[in-house]
């Protein structure tokens, strides 16, 4: 920057003095109507195509009409006193005029507009240079004036607001409700799956956003057409990105001027109404077309987008969608969220923190409504933000579990930056308000007591340290029954999920060879016994006869055992878990073939897979809390044993790494025995386990982590 530029910045030129003073003037595009709110007349107006809705009392409107661009503030004050008898000073008039000018209420000539516009542009540039940040939460693109388009469309579609078409639409809604009721479980499951982006590829995502944006366009057009139906104009309609998600918008502010309460309600619910019309037609087409056809599948996707999701999302009054504006209209508070939040925060600051803050006045009947809505909507908003951040963490965690917290943290800070700034301003104001009182209270004895309490808290063992791991339930005892002898299955006495006791038969086999050999062995044994008795009578060759009898007896026992093995029995009491056992009937099985598996479910073992670097903390007897996906309440138990060697994690528990350079750790299994007397547990159930390894202080916890880090990296 040279010297002339420095002087130009330091001594800017004064603006040229205009010979003629310009005074406020009513805008020629001002539209205003009288409405009755809470049995009180209110003048509601707006500049056609503008963004602000103005509310005036009859006295204020009488004052506003006196500004014609020629009268000075003193002239307006004198004329208003002459008409009403009330005195209003010139400074009060200037302040009133400037408030309206900030909302672009007054008319400006092209020259004034250019001067004001250049000043605003300069200020906006300064603000952008000062802030140097980008707001990704709302990116709006340039739009066109859609009033002509909507006027032409309304002339062609005016019949949709007739009584007969409304009755026809309600009849279609009834048919849609019956179709949804008949297949509710399937439609609800698919809706959740469709909106959670489960098993979606690139084309599926593109198709989803195309359908979503296309139906959103008709949704916003319905708002605009209904506004036209009640006499209003629509001058802003376009496309924007909300947190980089595409969406359409339509400004129907003029319906607040031309229409009463119920026309405004009709304009608000028009978007939901037209999407339900699409859903009703799609549901009838889906119901009447053959499964697998292109039309059938496309209609079902339209149902998923415009059905239950429309009602749940758009009618939700806790976020600024149609449901919020509908509730605000029903309670006659246009800024319900802002007003309720301002009321609750002011009340908390004044009554809890004793700050000199003025609480907005509300009549007794609305105080509970505002406070309750502020609390519920705030909790819901933060829950939605948490879900968004958690979703980001889960997506990145599939790529790099160790560093997934960084983008999730960045997204959370980006979303919450305005709230963090507000919290910082509040803490600063609270400190400035209580600084002197705190200094007077914070004496040396109190400092010593506070330091002692802090030391006790930091060094007290109040931190419960746990080790987490995935687990799967397995039976403590499991019997795999195999064929002891070859044979043909002639009878199946058990079925899947059947309870069997120890020694109960489950299969019967038949083997002609074994049966024949057993009968022959029995016959030979009887012959040998007869020969042995005859030898004893004759006292001839007794030794040989007895040896033959012993040999045949052993052979018979062997053959009898093989024959007894043709009846397959369960060695333990439990449940048959082999599927389709009945299919074994008539088949030939070889010796050693697996036939039936029986699991003892009276006592189940939870195999907890603990990473290698955590196994040293665990010992038999450690208390365990098991949280299963199938049960609401966690189960309690203790570690009964630990595997001496590392093992692979159970099937379905380990997440496959997409990158080969990220190697999973080795795992050891800790076993927890669980009684299953109520039969609520089943083998194969899984979840997350937390093993308590001791109580530590906050200081000890921090020291242990620092020490382990140093020991791992410096040795």
Beta strand residue intervals within 116-175, DSSP E: 138-140
The answer on 469 and 438 residing in a single domain is no
Is the model more confident about 13 or about 274?
274
The answer on 545 and 602 residing in a single domain is no
Q: Looking at residue 647, what DSSP letter applies?
A: B
What's the average model confidence in pLDDT over 161-188? 87
Q: How far apart, in whole angstroms, are the C-alpha atoms of residue 272 and residue 495?
A: 53
Q: What percent of the chain has pLDDT over 90?
A: 1
Residue 77 lies in a domain: yes
The answer on 434 and 499 residing in a single domain is no
Query: Residue 480: pLDDT above 70?
Result: yes
Q: Which residue, 301, 334, 367, sits at the end of a domain?
A: 334
Query: Residue 392: pLDDT above 80?
Result: no
Q: Is the dihedral of CA 169, 175, 178, 184 positive or negative?
A: negative
Q: Which domain holds residue 315?
A: 138-334
Task: Read off the pLDDT band of 309 (50, 70, 90).
Answer: low
- Give tens-digit pLDDT for 503-552: 888 888 888 888 888 888 888 878 887 787 777 777 777 777 778 878 87
The answer on 154 and 262 residing in a single domain is yes
- Give tens-digit pLDDT for 44-58: 888 876 767 788 888
Task: Read off the pLDDT band of 170 (50, 70, 90).
Answer: very high
Q: What is the pLDDT of residue 167?
A: 92
What's the average model confidence in pLDDT over 160-171? 91
* Residue 672 burial (C-beta neighbours within 10 Å; 0-12, 13-18, 19+): buried
Q: What is the pLDDT of residue 132?
A: 44
* Residue 110 burial (C-beta neighbours within 10 Å; 0-12, 13-18, 19+): exposed
* Residue 387 burial (C-beta neighbours within 10 Å; 0-12, 13-18, 19+): exposed
Torsion angles phi and psi, residue 632, rounded to 5: -80, -45
Task: Read off the pLDDT band of 164 (50, 70, 90).
Answer: very high
Residue 708 lies in a domain: no
Determine how many CB atoms are found less than 10 A away from the CB of residue 132: 7
- Per-residue tokens: 398: 């599939």
Q: What is the pLDDT of residue 8?
A: 41
Q: What is the pLDDT of residue 498?
A: 85
What's the average model confidence in pLDDT over 417-430? 83
Q: Which residue, 131, 149, 166, sits at the end of a domain?
A: 131
User: Comparing C-alpha atoms, which of 263, 236, 229, 269 is closest to residue 251?
Assistant: 236
Residue 715 lies in a domain: no
CATH number of the domain at 482, please. 2.40.30.170
Residue 714 lies in a domain: no
Mean pLDDT (the chain, rounded):
78
Is the model more confident about 611 or about 1?
611
The answer on 191 and 179 residing in a single domain is yes
Partners of 26 in beta bridges: 106
Q: Is the dihedral of CA 156, 158, 159, 165 positive or negative?
A: positive
Q: What percent of the chain has pLDDT over 70?
A: 83
The answer on 356 and 246 residing in a single domain is no
The answer on 320 and 178 residing in a single domain is yes
Is the model more confident about 447 or about 321?
447
Residue 711 lies in a domain: no
Please count the structural domains in the chain. Answer: 5
Lowest mean pLDDT among 130-134, 511-515, 677-681, 682-686: 130-134
What's the average model confidence in pLDDT over 136-159? 75
Q: What is the pLDDT of residue 405?
A: 74
The answer on 501 and 366 residing in a single domain is no
The answer on 359 and 330 residing in a single domain is no
Query: Residue 243: pLDDT above 80?
Result: no
Residue 707 lies in a domain: no
Q: What is the pLDDT of residue 260?
A: 77
The answer on 316 and 199 residing in a single domain is yes
Task: Read off the pLDDT band of 652 (50, 70, 90).
Answer: low
Residue 344 lies in a domain: yes
Query: Residue 412: pLDDT above 70?
Result: yes
Task: Read off the pLDDT band of 136 (50, 70, 90).
Answer: very low
The answer on 191 and 84 residing in a single domain is no
Which positions ≥6 away from 45 have C-beta within 8 Å?
A: 30, 31, 32, 33, 53, 54, 56, 257
Lowest mean pLDDT among 116-120, 259-263, 366-370, 493-497: 116-120
Query: Residue 562: pLDDT above 50?
Result: yes
Which positions ≥6 away from 216 have C-beta within 8 Å?
A: 247, 248
Q: What is the pLDDT of residue 171?
A: 92
Beta strand residue intervals within 427-529, DSSP E: 463-482, 487-492, 499-500, 505-510
Is the model more confident about 204 or about 372?
372
- Strand duo 245-250 + 487-492: pairing: unpaired
Task: Read off the pLDDT band of 242 (50, 70, 90).
Answer: low
Task: Read off the pLDDT band of 127 (50, 70, 90).
Answer: very low
Task: Read off the pLDDT band of 118 (50, 70, 90).
Answer: very low
Q: Which residue, 283, 315, 334, sits at the end of a domain?
A: 334
Q: How far apart, in whole angstroms, are the C-alpha atoms of residue 49 and residue 375?
A: 35
The answer on 273 and 162 residing in a single domain is yes
Task: Read off the pLDDT band of 200 (50, 70, 90).
Answer: low
Query: Residue 126: pLDDT above 50?
Result: no
- Per-residue tokens: 200: 């979606």
Residue 9 lies in a domain: no
What's the average model confidence in pLDDT over 702-708? 76
């Amino acid at each position: 920057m040279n010297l002339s530029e420095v002087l130009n910045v330091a001594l800017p030129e004064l603006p040229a003095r205009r010979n003629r003073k310009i005074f406020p003037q009513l805008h020629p595009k001002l539209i205003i109507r009288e409405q009755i709110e809470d049995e009180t007349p209110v003048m509601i107006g707006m500049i056609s195509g503008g963004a602000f809705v103005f509310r005036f009392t009859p006295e204020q409107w009488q004052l506003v009409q006196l500004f014609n661009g020629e009268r000075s503030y003193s002239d307006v004050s004198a004329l208003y006193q002459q008409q009403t008898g009330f005195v209003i000073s010139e400074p009060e008039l200037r302040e009133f005029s400037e408030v309206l000018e900030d909302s672009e209420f007054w008319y400006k000539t092209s020259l004034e507009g250019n001067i004001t516009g250049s000043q605003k542009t300069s200020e906006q540039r300064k603000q952008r240079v000062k802030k140097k940040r980008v707001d990704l939460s709302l990116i709006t693109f340039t739009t066109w004036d859609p009033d002509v388009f909507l006027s032409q469309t309304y002339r062609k579609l005016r019949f949709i607001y007739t009584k007969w078409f409304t009755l026809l639409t309600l009849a279609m809604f009834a048919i849609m409700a019956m179709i949804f009721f008949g297949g509710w479980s399937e439609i609800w499951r698919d809706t959740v799956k469709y909106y959670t982006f489960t098993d979606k590829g690139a084309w599926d995502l593109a198709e989803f956003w195309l359908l979503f944006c296309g139906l959103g366009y008709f949704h916003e057009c319905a708002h605009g057409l209904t506004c036209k139906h009640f006499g209003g104009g629509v001058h802003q309609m376009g496309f924007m990105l909300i947190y980089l998600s595409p969406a359409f918008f339509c400004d129907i502010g003029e319906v607040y001027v031309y229409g009463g309460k119920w026309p405004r309600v009709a304009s608000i619910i028009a978007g939901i109404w037209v999407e339900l019309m699409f859903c009703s037609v799609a549901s009838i087409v889906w119901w009447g077309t053959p499964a697998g056809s292109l039309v059938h599948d496309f209609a079902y996707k339209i149902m998923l987008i415009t059905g239950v999701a429309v009602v749940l999302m758009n009618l939700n009054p806790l976020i600024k969608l149609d449901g919020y504006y509908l509730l605000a209209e029903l309670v006659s508070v246009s800024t319900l969220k802002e007003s309720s939040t301002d009321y609750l925060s002011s009340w908390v600051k004044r009554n809890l923190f004793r700050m000199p803050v003025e609480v907005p006045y509300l009549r007794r009947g609305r105080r509970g409504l505002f406070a309750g809505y502020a609390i519920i909507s705030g909790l819901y908003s933060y829950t939605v933000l948490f879900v968004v951040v958690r979703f980001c963490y889960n997506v990145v965690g599939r790529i790099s579990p160790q560093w997934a917290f960084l983008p999730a943290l960045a997204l959370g800070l980006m979303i919450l930056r305005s709230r963090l700034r507000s919290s910082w301003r509040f803490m600063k104001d609270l400190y400035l308000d209580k600084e002197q009182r705190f200094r007077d209270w914070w004496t040396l004895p109190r400092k010593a007591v506070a330091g002692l309490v802090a030391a006790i808290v930091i060094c007290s063992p109040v931190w419960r340290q746990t080790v987490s791991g995935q687990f799967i339930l397995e039976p403590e005892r499991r019997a795999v029954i195999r064929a002891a002898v070859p044979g043909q299955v002639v009878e199946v006495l058990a079925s899947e999920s059947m309870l069997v006791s120890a020694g109960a038969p489950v299969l019967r086999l038949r083997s002609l060879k074994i049966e024949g050999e057993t009968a022959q062995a029995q016959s030979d044994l009887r012959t040998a016994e007869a020969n042995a008795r005859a030898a004893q009578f004759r006292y001839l060759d007794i030794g040989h006869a007895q040896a033959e009898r012993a040999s045949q007896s052993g052979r018979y026992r062997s053959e009898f055992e093989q024959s007894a093995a043709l009846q397959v029995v369960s060695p333990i009491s439990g449940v048959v878990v082999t599927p389709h056992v009945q299919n074994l009937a008539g088949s030939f099985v070889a010796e050693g073939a697996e036939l039936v598996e029986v699991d003892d479910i009276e006592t189940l073992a939870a195999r907890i897979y603990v990473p290698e670097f955590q196994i040293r903390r665990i010992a038999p007897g450690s208390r365990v809390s098991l949280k299963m996906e199938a049960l609401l309440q966690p189960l309690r138990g203790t570690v009964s044993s630990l595997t001496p060697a590392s093992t692979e994690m159970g099937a379905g528990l380990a997440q496959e790494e997409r990158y080969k350079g990220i190697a999973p750790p080795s795992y050891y299994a800790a076993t927890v025995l669980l009684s299953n007397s109520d039969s609520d547990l089943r083998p194969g159930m899984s979840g997350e386990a937390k093993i308590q390894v001791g109580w530590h202080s906050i200081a000890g916890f921090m020291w242990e982590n620092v020490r382990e880090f140093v020991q791992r990296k410096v040795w």
